[in-house]
Each structure stands twice: as structure tokens, then as C-alpha cells.
């Protein structure tokens, strides 16, 4: 395959994955996700986000959009990516197991009015599964953002959002678009300026 064909194929696949995601059910799930986050912020809660690899980067990216700003000037909103503290991650991973790196942080930081956004392209990440269990124990609302059918997480959480694509990169591209749309909706719901 030629270089220009790779470029065309990748952009075409990305567009198709996003168009495929745009169903009435997924539109509704996106709105419901934003409503959960906005309701949490109104009650003094926060959004806690986790994922592995590229999903960890997406967690940090989305937390920054809420804490700093997305597209409008507004007060900072409380969001936290629990993928960033190398001391927490390595101490928990070393003393217990990598499966608990997110659940132990949630048990320490999570409150019932918080929302947990779990991002996993496979739906099979054990540390995300355990984090969801911890969030549910606390009484947090849980949004699951996944792909490839959802794996072990299929149908779980308060909102289960699956991207029907095969390639991880395409799934992640839809995930970050979903996150950006949730940011825009939350800004609209809380500040009515978009």
C-alpha cells in the first residue's frame, strides 16, 4: 500500500467510525452522560476519569478541558484523571497489583455525588473493571466508554457507550470526540452560552 493510500484509508475509516457512532441511541447516551456530569458538578461533585495507554491520555485530556476551559470562558470545573500520579500508580502496582491502581484511588477520592468515566477500548482491562466495582460501591454514577463490543463491560454501568469499530485508533478517535461533545454539552447545561 502506498503512503497516500494509507492516509486516505485512515481518514476514511475515522470518518466512517464517527458516522457509524451517530445513531439515535448513542446520541441519547451522550446527552445522558453530559447530564450526569452536569448534575454532579451542580451538587459539588467531580468527574473522575481513568483508562490505560491512549485512554489514559484521553482521561488527562478531558480532565484538562473541564479544569481549564473547553470553548467558552467559565469557572474551572472539578475533573480528575487518576492516571497521572506515578507514585500512586507504582506503589499500588508494586504493593498490591496493577489491577488495583484505579480502584484504590477511587476508594480514597470518590464520593457518592461524583461520576466515574471509565475508558477502555477492549472492555476487558482488569484495573478498569475493579475501578467500576469500587465506584459502584461508593455510589458513584458510572459512564463506560468502550469499543469492540464492550468485552467484559458490555451493558454495565449507568451509561454504556460502545464504539463499533475494529481498530483501536479509530475507537480512540471516536472516544475523544465523545468527550469533547460531553464538554460542550456540560458547558451548555451549566452556562447556556454555547
188: buried, middle or exposed (CB in 10 Å: 19+, 13-18, 0-12)? Answer: middle
Q: Which set of grid coordinates corresponds to residue 120?
A: 477502555
The domain locations on the chain are: 3-191
C-alpha radius of gyration, the chain, whole number: 17
Q: Which CATH fold topology does 3-191 show?
A: Rossmann fold (3.40.50)
> Mean pLDDT per segment of 10 residues, for the chain of length 194 residues?
95 96 98 98 98 97 96 96 96 97 98 98 97 98 96 96 95 98 97 70
Mean pLDDT over the full length of the chain: 96
26, containing H or E segment: helix 24-42
Amino acid at each position: 500500500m502506498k503512503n497516500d493510500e494509507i492516509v486516505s484509508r485512515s481518514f476514511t475509516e475515522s470518518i466512517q467510525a464517527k458516522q457509524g457512532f451517530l445513531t439515535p441511541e448513542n446520541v441519547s447516551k451522550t446527552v445522558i452522560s453530559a447530564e450526569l456530569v452536569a448534575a454532579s458538578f451542580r451538587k459539588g461533585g467531580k468527574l473522575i476519569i481513568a483508562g490505560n495507554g491512549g485512554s489514559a491520555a484521553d482521561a488527562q485530556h478531558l480532565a484538562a478541558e473541564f479544569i481549564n476551559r473547553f470553548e467558552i470562558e467559565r469557572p474551572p470545573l472539578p475533573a480528575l484523571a487518576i492516571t497521572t500520579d506515578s507514585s500512586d500508580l507504582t506503589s499500588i502496582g508494586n504493593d498490591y497489583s496493577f489491577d488495583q491502581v484505579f480502584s484504590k484511588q477511587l476508594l480514597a477520592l470518590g464520593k457518592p455525588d461524583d461520576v466515574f468515566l471509565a475508558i477502555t477500548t477492549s472492555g476487558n482491562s482488569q484495573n478498569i473493571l475493579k475501578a467500576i466495582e469500587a465506584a459502584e460501591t461508593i455510589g458513584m454514577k458510572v459512564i463506560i466508554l468502550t469499543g469492540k463490543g464492550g468485552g467484559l463491560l458490555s451493558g454495565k454501568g449507568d451509561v454504556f457507550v460502545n464504539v463499533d469499530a475494529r481498530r483501536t485508533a479509530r475507537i480512540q478517535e471516536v472516544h475523544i470526540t465523545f468527550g469533547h461533545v460531553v464538554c460542550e454539552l456540560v458547558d451548555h447545561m451549566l452556562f447556556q452560552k454555547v
